[in-house]
Every structure is written in C-alpha cells, then in structure tokens.
Amino acid sequence: MEFATLGGCCFWCLDAAYREVAGVRQVVSGYAGGHTPNPSYEQVCGKRTGHAEVVRIGFDPKVVSYADLLRIFFALHDPTTKDRQGADVGPQYRSIILAETPEQMEAARAVMAEVEAAGLWGAPLVTELVPAGAFWPAEPEHQDYFNRNPWSGYCRAVIAPKLAKFRKAFAPRLLRAGA
C-alpha cells in the first residue's frame, strides 16, 4: 500500500469521494502542512496552526495510480482559489499536495502541468506542492463524516452535489460502477 496526502476543501468532501474509488484501501481525515503538533479541529479552524484539512489515502498502486488520484483531486475542488472553496474560507481549506516521495513530487508536477495545459479551470492553479511532513488524524467524529451524517445540512447542500458530479465523471473508477 502507498499513501497520498491531499487537501483541497473541507476534508469531509475528499473523504467521501475517495472512499468510493477502486483501489483505495483507507481514507483518514486529518491535518498537515502546518507547525502545531497534534492540533484540534478548533485550533485548525482558528487559522493559526498553519495546517490544512487533508485526507491521507492508502491505495493499491496496482489498481489506481497516484496520478489518477491527483486527477480526481483536481476535479473535486477548485484549485485556482487561494484559501477558499465556496463558502469555506481560510488557509485550512487551501489546495495542497503533500508528496511522500520524490516520485510523487514528480508525478504531481506532471499532473499539475496537464491540468494547466487542458485549461480545465480557466485560471492558474494555486495548489501548493510540498514534501509531506507530519500528518495528524482528525478527531473520530470527522472520519467518514458523510456516510455517518448524510442528512446534515452541509452533507446535503455541499457534499452530496459534489459526489453526484464525481460519480458521473469517474464512474469507471468507482468500487461499484455507477455508484
């Protein structure tokens, strides 16, 4: 199993989508990219830890490539808005790739160039690409949030529409075709 650490909006959105991708074996919501050890959700939301809300994805590279996980990543959020995803505003929502190996760093550069060249977003990417450092798992209530709270307002208004769009665009890559 290999790992990918990505942040590009509220971690609940990324968590929900990646749990449906064939080859993904584990998704853990958490915090990375900052300087405060073992931060709490409240501390990260306070915008002083330097951390982003991220997911750490354990995946089987024989089933899904790191590059394909990144292509999904760039479709799940707007990588052209600094510190903002819709109504979620702050550095904890920034677009960030935390590369675990030199090979991941190289693959991320290549996929970012591919996304830029395709003009998918109509604006330059602001995604940070940095070496992975410490990852701090989020509190238990943030793990698999969408599946445990499908009727909450945020899940219904924000996550469900993103998942519907994701499922349509990536149907062949899902655990259950047409999931």
- End-to-end alpha-carbon separation of the chain, Å? 24
For 102, residues 6+ apart whose C-beta sits below 8 A from its C-beta are none
Cα distances from 34 to residues 93, 113, 129, 149, in angstroms, run 13, 25, 14, 28
Answering whether pTM is above 0.85, one says yes
How do residues 27-58 score in pLDDT, each as one tens digit?
999 999 999 999 999 999 999 999 999 999 99
- At 46-100, the pLDDT tens digits run 999 999 999 999 999 999 999 999 999 999 999 999 988 877 888 999 999 999 9
- Please indicate whether residue 10 is annotated as part of the active site: yes
Task: Select which of 9, 10, 13, 155 is catalytic.
Answer: 10
Q: Scanning the structure block, which residue is given the tokens 């510190």?
A: 83
- Evaluate whether 13 touches 50 at the Cβ level (below 8 Å): no
